[in-house]
Amino acid sequence: MTPSSFLCLIFIFLVPLAPAGLALINAGLGRSRSAAHAMLVSLAVMAVAALAYFVCGFAWQGIAGGAAHSLRAAGKEWNWIAAEPLFLRGHPLDGSPASLAILLQILSVGLAALIPLGSGSDRWRLGPSCASAALLAGFTYPLFAHWVWGGGWLAQLGSNYGLGQGFLDAGGASCIHAVGGLTALSVAWILGPRRGKYVLQGVPSAIPGHDAVIVVFACFLMLAGWMSLNSAGAILFAGVEPGRAVLIAVNTTLSASTGLLAAVAITTYRFGKPDVSLCANGWVGGLAASSAACAFVTPAAAGAIGLVAGALVTAAVACIEWPLAIDDAGGAISVHAAGGLWGVLALGIFGRFPNAVSGQWLAQLIGIATLIGFVLPLTYALNWLLNCFYRQRVDPEGERQGLDLYELGAGAYPEFVTHTEEFTQQ
């Protein structure tokens, strides 16, 4: 194993801090009576996503230069899906760049599958959550990731049509965050809002998260996970020199920092005091937006990207809750879909490349159009079909009791429960 491969492996070993942080954020921003369920379902979804990716996901995603199916349109090859064998056969897991990419993808697909849990908080059953994660990890994610990271038609926009370097995304702003965020939007629509959210003529009621401490702690964990994810992704998928990992880490930190500060300033202006959950969302929005461009921009540009992301996420959270009337308890749609899409566009605006060719911004716009015009309908249709055969939303009684008691039989914080029988039996 070469020193750069070893460095990459260390980065990949730290990536699980990102899904750990996301699971904590989803649990902390939900109700206390569904907290244990939120953590267990996060772990289960990671497990199902890893298995689905192992069984068929990698076969359809593949790696750049690997076996693939192509169409021919107007004299150009359109590489649209990989043709690798199922169950990772034929790929020795020996420390080669291909094997490192497989390991990173197994973790990344888990992170993408965790994102929709934020929008389905307090009402999405365990079984359907896992089934939905299998669809995401087994089909939607691999297909789009092949187009971006597997040498597919989006990556070929540069060589085929002279659009900059082709669609670029070093750390997963599109493949992980936008795909996960758009799936979160589909899930929120299919599940509908939590009971009691829109009771007064459609005006939303505030349902505050139950633990601000773990939400903020999760932000620290996610910074470490994101620096690793962005660095490993840039080295493996964008061919960046390992030495640029320092620039990537600096850019990631600056983007998160300005995202947080933008959210602090906006919430202080609007409410008179900073709002913890919105500020945490601003931090994570800055991280999500940093992913695409972290290896290709200056630190000042990374700060600007995070600043816009923080403002955008704060505005999107308010707009999605009201007037759009979408119940997104964990802010998954605002943070990952809006933040990720902005990050993709920001690469086209701020990205600097040696031997630059014009049209990078157009390649990025085509990627955004593909996410909204192809990935969103696909993920909506898949989750809608799943809902027809396997009801995704919990019964009203389950929502009233909380998913901990209803689906797991025990709460996350049993000492908080008042056992009335202890008093009435006297």
Q: Considering the complex, what minimum distance in angstroms separates the CB of residue 131 from another protein?
A: 21
Does 299 help bind another protein (rule: CB under 8 A)? no
> Should residue 359 be labelled a site residue for another protein when binding is judged by CB under 8 A?
yes
Nearest to 147 by CA among 68, 50, 84, 239: 68
Q: For 328, which DSSP code?
A: -
CB nearer another protein, residue 321 or residue 407 = 321
Q: Which is nearer to another protein, 10 or 381 (CB)?
A: 381
CA angle 307, 343, 370 (to 5 degrees): 150
Report in angstroms the alpha-carbon separations of 164 from 149, 169, 244, 352. 16, 13, 21, 11
Strands 203-204 vs 198-200: parallel, antiparallel or unpaired: antiparallel
Chain positions 216 to 255 lying near another protein, rule: CB under 8 A, are none
| Residue 332 burial class via C-beta count within 10 angstroms: exposed 0-12, middle 13-18, buried 19 and up | buried
What would the two tokens of residue 333 be? 């749609």
Binding mask 102-141 for another protein (x = CB under 8 A): ----------------------------------------
Smallest gap from residue 402 Cβ to another protein (A): 16
- Comparison of 133 and 378: residue with beta carbon closer to another protein: 378
Smallest gap, in angstroms, from Cβ of residue 324 to another protein? 6
Q: Which of 9, 362, 405, 408 binds another protein (CB under 8 A)?
A: 362
Establish if 426 lies at the interface with another protein (CB under 8 A): no
Name residues contacting another protein, limited to 72-91 (CB under 8 A): 73-74, 76
Write the CB contacts of 194 (distance below 8 Å, at least 6 apart in sequence): 121, 122, 123, 207, 327, 329, 399
211: left (phi over 0), alpha (psi -120 to 50) or beta: beta
Give the DSSP H/E element, type plus range, for residue 142: helix 141-149
Of the candidate spans 23-31, 70-78, 263-271, 308-316, the one that interacts with another protein by CB under 8 A turns out to be 70-78
Provide the binding-site residues for another protein, judged by CB under 8 A.
Answer: 73-74, 76, 157, 161, 189, 192-193, 195-196, 198-199, 201-202, 324-326, 358-359, 362, 365-366, 368-370, 372-374, 376-377, 380-381, 396
